Amino acid sequence: MELEDFKSVWKADNAHALPRYATAQIEDMLRQKTHHILDKIRRSIYFEIISMVVIIAAFLAIGVFSSYQTLRIYFGSFTLLFIPYTWVFVYLLRQTNALQQQQAALQQQLKDYLLLMETFQKRYLQFCMALIPVCVVFSFLISFYTQENIPALDKIVGVGKPSLWIVLAALVLYLGLFSAGMYYFTKWYLKKLYGRYLSVLRQNLQELNSTE
């Protein structure tokens, strides 16, 4: 019997107080539902970890094997940045596993987990948005330091030989559009991987509190 069906039957039979056996059954159903959602969240975290490993491997390969010093410095530096960032997902995976193995005091553990995941989503978005200006400034600093020409990039920048103000205006426009696109994409991405599942967990927490 589904949770909502069980509660409907109980409310029809008892309009005053929730019997102890009914409370236990509802809590057990909510626990099972919570574990099912945590399985989905864990798969999302595994996806993030695998994606980060692939990105780190690709960046490391460019940082080691590229014939251009500029690219070696750029991608090598971000490899070092993403390695500790990957451990954030490992930590979230451990917390998810710990919650799923929790047998007692599920309410408080679930409340703490929701707070952790909500904070993670905020920091995730902030990190992605902060990377945009960091990448641009860092690339300019490296280019200035190395004074190295990369033919493929020179062809793109040098098309039509635009004046400096046109290059700066195009850069500002590009950064504005890219930042807006990145913001909305990251919001959608987080909702797709975590947000919809966290909404269900919040409902479960409310249901657990209502059985007390």
Is residue 179 within 8 A of residue 125, CB to CB? The reply is: no
Please give the pLDDT value at position 10.
42
Please give the pLDDT value at position 200.
87
Contacts of 187 (CB under 8 A, 6+ apart): 125
Successive 10-residue mean pLDDT values, the chain, 212 residues: 49 48 65 84 94 95 89 91 92 87 73 90 92 86 76 58 69 85 93 90 80 60
- pTM value is 0.76
Please give the pLDDT value at position 41.
92
Angle between helices 69-100 and 106-146 (to 10 degrees): 180
Angle between helices 20-65 and 196-210 (to 10 degrees): 160
Q: Using CB atoms within 10 Å of the CB of residue 113, give its burial: 0 to 12 exposed, 13 to 18 middle, 19+ buried.
A: buried
Query: Could you count the other beta carbons within 10 Å of the beta carbon of residue 149?
Result: 10
Please give the pLDDT value at position 146.
75
Q: What angle do CA 206, 24, 105 make, to 5 degrees?
A: 60
Burial code (b: 16+ CB inside 10 Å, e: under 16) for 61-94 equals ebbeebebebbbbbbeebbeeeeeebebbeebbe
Is residue 125 within 8 A of residue 187, CB to CB? The reply is: yes
Structure tokens at 80: 């070092």
Please give the pLDDT value at position 6.
45
Helix (H) or strand (E) segment spanning residue 46: helix 20-65
Please give the pLDDT value at position 9.
46
Please give the pLDDT value at position 165.
74
Please give the pLDDT value at position 100.
75
Residue 168 in 3-state DSSP?
helix
Please give the pLDDT value at position 184.
94
Angle between helices 164-190 and 106-146 (to 10 degrees): 160
